[in-house]
Amino acid sequence: MRVPGTALVSLLSAVALAAAMAIAVTSGPASREGGRRTQQLGERRSQTTTYHTEQQCLGTPSVRLPCYDPAQIETAYGELPLFARGIDGRGETIVIVDSFGSPTIRRDLAVFDSQFLLPAPPSLRIIQPAGAIPTYNPKTTTMVGWAGETTLDVEWAHAAAPGASLLIVETPVSETEGTIGFPEIMAAENYVIRHHLGEVISQSFGANEKTFSSLSRLESLRSAFVAAEAAHVTVVASTGDTGVSDDTTATGKNLSLTQTVTWPASDPLVTAVGGTQLSLNAAGERTAPDVVWNDSYDRAANDFVFGTSEPHPNASGGGLSSIFSRPSYQRGVAGVVGDHRGTPDVSMSAACSGLVDTYQSFAGPTPPGWYYVCGTSESAPLFAGIVALADQEAHHGLGCINPALYAMKQARDPGVVPVRKGDNTVSFRKGGKEHTVVGYRASASYNLASGLGTVDASQFVPELVRTVASVGTSVTYGFLAPSGQL
């Protein structure tokens, strides 16, 4: 997933909202730098200088979309009963990995917490174990984009687990397609694991599997995930925001006309988190069941969300890996995945037709203020927060939870909630023509649009702890191509 490359829509001036890793611009298409793709980093934004309630968001002519706050999301995912008995992540640390980070994240999180009456995290540390990052430059779109990504990751991981400590791990090279930036990310994550600095790692980035030149190149980047499995650290990653398509280059302008998925979400040792659309009232109660996030088809919505009536590939990532064979925990869904690793594993809120609030004040093309964002860069930190609650419940890190997730689905545990409707088919224009890449449909069973479904944390957290203790965390897997061939 490339960062940054998107335009922000101002709620006040009705400037067009474009895609992810939010570069704030005042008009027109966003610039791209460092080979970051517009669509795939899982974050889209609209902006206002003052906080808007959901009713105000719905009533704003330039947006007319719901925007959800932490209390609504916490209610929707059944976290309040856990909070009531002290399960809020206390004693645990969520590790958030981002290139460059944000120069104002401490201040911005404090504003976010003040607005929503959230406690400050017990600890907010920032480390740079892979080397000092360059000085922040507000004229560099890549840095501005990563600052926006960091803001989303930190604020919403904290919203999901307000009692957990936060560790921001900044890396000095922007992750782009292929291997660029990943050696530094893996070095940083290995440092975290080696020094026992956190129990769950959240990754809101990724690269199209097809952009790795060889399997050996990818294998050399997986050391942190192998170390995490051995150290009982859970690793999660977002599946991307272009449905079953993805960019095949580092330019952000060459979406695939065939199905593809992104790594590290496709790694068998990583929990892949896709996106859903929530329909909530002001109290956070559902007014309709969750569906797979897909804003590609609604041309009326595109008119005011994306500033154009052209189709956009804005949907939850998911599909079959072309690198990894079916892992042991997906043996029971072989009828869906065949011989391949399938993604996502679970899904959480990510839709642009159901935004969440963030606050940012770093220098850039747009002013400090409240921004309303979406994408699987939201769903990954949300789920990392839920895992932190389970770590607290268990009194230890749970490690690779994927075997337990599939066992819970097979046992029909009520904490795993099916997402039965929607798909991740996407349409877009390329070469002057409109193309559609047909994806997968949701269902009550495992599928390649919503995975196992979403969660009711009040039941999911204790069920996950019990199931990990029962089935363990061991995973066996392989590769679909000999080393050196992709």
Q: For the whole model, what pTM was predicted?
A: 0.90
SS3 per residue for the chain = CCCCCCCCEECCCCCCCCCCCCCCCCCCCCCCCCCCCCCCCCCEEEEECCCCCHHHHHHCCCCCCCEECHHHHHHHCCCHHHHHCCCCCCCCEEEEEEECCCCCHHHHHHHHHHHHCCCCCCCEEEECCCCCCCCCCCCCHHHHHHHHHHHHHHHHHHHHCCCCEEEEEEECCCCCCCCCCHHHHHHHHHHHHHCCCCCEEEECCCEEHHHCCCHHHHHCCCHHHHHHHHHCCEEEEECCCECCCCECCCCCCCECCCCCCEECCCCCCCEEEEEEEEEECCCCCEEEEEEECECCCCHHHHHHHCCCCCCCCCECCCEEEEEEECCHHHHHHHHHHCCEEEECCEEEECCCCCEEEEEECCCCCCCCEEEEEECHHHHHHHHHHHHHHHHHHHCCCCCCCHHHHHHHHHCCCCCEECCCECECCEEEEECCEEEEECCCECCCCCECCCECCEECHHHHHHHHHHHHHHHCCCCCCCECCCCCCC
Indicate the average pLDDT of the chain.
85
Within a domain: 429:
yes
pLDDT for 19 equals 28
Q: Is 150 left (phi over 0), alpha (psi -120 to 50) or beta?
A: alpha
pLDDT interval class at 372 (50, 70, 90)? confident
Determine the structural domain holding residue 458 and report its residue range. Answer: 68-471
Within a domain: 117:
yes
Q: Find the range with the poorest average confidence among 1-10, 303-312, 432-441.
A: 1-10
pLDDT for 408 equals 98
Is residue 440 within 8 A of residue 340, CB to CB? The reply is: no
Q: What is the pLDDT of residues 207-223, one digit of tens each?
A: 899 888 778 878 888 99
CA–CA distance, 265 with 448 (Å, rounded to integer): 13
Is residue 49 within 8 A of residue 43, CB to CB? The reply is: no
pLDDT for 5 equals 32
- Kindly tell me if the per-residue pLDDT of 83 is higher than 80: yes
pLDDT for 318 equals 97
Within a domain: 478:
no
Within a domain: 385:
yes
Within a domain: 52:
no
Tokens linked to 130: 């892979």
Within a domain: 9:
no
CA–CA distance, 148 with 10 (Å, rounded to integer): 15
Q: What is the pLDDT of residues 348-363, one digit of tens each?
A: 999 988 999 999 999 9
Q: What percent of the chain has a predicted confidence (pLDDT) above 90? A: 69
CA–CA distance, 2 with 467 (Å, rounded to integer): 35
- Kindly tell me if the per-residue pLDDT of 20 is higher than 50: no
- Kindly tell me if the per-residue pLDDT of 485 is higher than 60: no
Q: What is the pLDDT of residues 256-276, one digit of tens each?
A: 888 999 999 999 999 999 999
pLDDT interval class at 430 (50, 70, 90)? confident
Within a domain: 252:
yes
Tokens linked to 167: 């560790």
Tell me how far the alpha carbon of residue 446 is from its chain's centroid.
20
pLDDT for 16 equals 25
CA–CA distance, 484 with 444 (Å, rounded to integer): 38
Residue 21 vs residue 223, higher pLDDT: 223
Within a domain: 34:
no
Average pLDDT over residues 165-186: 91
Looking up residue 305, the CATH number of its domain turns out to be 3.40.50.200
Q: Find the range with the poorest average confidence among 26-35, 154-163, 342-351.
A: 26-35
CA–CA distance, 55 with 284 (Å, rounded to integer): 13
pLDDT for 31 equals 25
Sign for the pseudo-dihedral over CA of 477, 480, 481, 482: positive
As beta bridge partners, residue 255 has 247
pLDDT for 210 equals 86
- Kindly tell me if the per-residue pLDDT of 406 is higher than 90: yes
* Residue 114: CB atoms within 10 Å: 11
pLDDT for 64 equals 65
When divided into structural domains, the chain yields a total of 1
Q: What is the pLDDT of residues 34-55, one digit of tens each?
A: 222 222 223 444 455 567 777 7
pLDDT for 229 equals 97
pLDDT interval class at 428 (50, 70, 90)? confident
